[in-house]
Amino acid sequence: MPDALFLGPLALPPMIVPSIIALTTGYLVLRVFLPGVTDSARIEWIGKTSYRALLGGFVLWKVWPLFRWWEAILAEPVILLRLPGGPGGVAAGVTVAVLLFLPGLRRDRERIRPLLMTALPAIVAFLFSLAVMHAVGESSTQSIQADRLASILEEAEYLPAPSSAALPTSPKPLVLTFWASWCAPCVAELPVKKDFFDRYGDQLRYIAINMTRSERSREAVQRFVAEKEMSYPVILDIDGTLTTMFAIRGTPTTVVVDGTGTVRDRWMGASSPARLERAARRALE
């Protein structure tokens, strides 16, 4: 599952859809199937507080990247819209959501009983919708011809010139990011990918694959790479060979390939540091 869903340039937490479904399910159960459990005033409080808690959690998830990427966001504030909050943002958002409930439950303990009665159907709805999203987003294991991939990478046009860690003669795992300069989430994740390359570049090969056929010109990509100080290897996929080989459907897409040519992991959307680290650990096992 990706780190974020995108509504235009706005990154949203993947769990926001299952959360909305779960809250709506719990509210309907209380309103339609258990109307005699409590009075309408308490039902309305539960409904309003649930969505207020969801909104508060979302806001904290959204601003969480400020704690890690302050300088990059200060230089280009719009990327805050596009960056995912990651696990830290999720934990902080859940904490805030819980804290928003506590004062009201202390003031009126009769609200606890109907809340508990709707917890089970809400949890079931959450887990079911989460499982559906995971099944839809999970790509099947893909096998790539390792020799052909190595040949393509060796003959590709790089911007800037690749370091020895990126060349395909090494048995290290390979991490590819397919991107374009016009792609808002791709721009948002640049500081994340740079940090990842700085930390893992000596353990695995990281290469950014520019989908050059979708760009204005090769020169525009060169200017973008220089302006954004993309120090890691960048391949110009001029004829779309790599894009076709990996069946890329959208940007950014990150693909992790082991030494045998097996795709160990892939996801679409801007990446958080935690998501990349999980992929790196899995590839290095």
Domains and CATH numbers, the chain: 5-137 (no CATH), 146-284 (3.40.30.10)
Name residue 207's beta-bridge partners: 176
Structure tokens at 143: 């096998």
The per-residue pLDDT for 152 is: 87
Res 251: pLDDT: 83
Contact between 125 and 21 under an 8 Å Cβ cutoff? The reply is yes
Residue 213 has pLDDT above 60, yes or no: yes
> Closest by alpha carbon to 114, among 56, 17, 28, 180?
28
Q: Average pLDDT in the 192-215 region?
A: 89
Q: Is residue 131 scored above 70 in pLDDT?
A: yes
Using one digit for the tens of pLDDT, what is the confidence trace for 239-277? Answer: 888 988 887 877 888 998 887 777 888 888 888 888 888
Res. 55 pLDDT band, cuts 50 70 90: very high
pLDDT digits (tens, 9 = 90+) for 163-196: 544 454 456 789 999 999 988 888 888 989 999 9
**Would the pLDDT of 106 be above 70?**
yes
Amino acid code (one letter) for 111: R
Position 114 scores a pLDDT of 87
- Amino acid (one-letter) located at 167: L
Q: What is the pLDDT of residue 263?
A: 81
Q: Which residue pairs, CB below 8 angstroms and at least 24 apart, start in 27-32?
A: 27/118, 29/117, 29/118, 29/121, 29/122, 30/114, 30/117, 30/118
Q: Is the pLDDT of residue 209 over 90?
A: yes
Q: How confident is the model at residue 138 (pLDDT cuts 50, 70, 90)?
A: low
Query: What is the average pLDDT across 15-19?
Result: 89
pLDDT at 165: 45
Residue in the block written with tokens 């409590």: 38
d(CA 56, CA 285): 38
Whether the per-residue pLDDT at 93 is higher than 50: the answer is yes
> What secondary structure does DSSP assign to 104-155, as a single string?
HHHH-GGGHHHHHHHHHHHHHHHHHHHHHHHHHHPPPP-B--HHHHHHHHHH
Per-residue confidence (pLDDT) for residue 144, from 0 to 100: 62
Helices marked H in the chain: 16-28, 40-63, 70-75, 79-82, 86-107, 112-137, 146-155, 184-188, 190-200, 218-227, 241-245, 273-284
Residue 86 to residues 2, 39, 284: CA-CA distances in angstroms?
Answer: 10, 39, 22
Confidence of residue 136 (pLDDT cuts 50, 70, 90): low
pLDDT at 139: 47
Confidence of residue 49 (pLDDT cuts 50, 70, 90): very high
Q: Is the pLDDT of residue 160 over 80?
A: no
Alpha-carbon gap, residue 218 to 159, rounded angstroms: 10
- In percent, the amount of the chain with pLDDT more than 70 equals 88
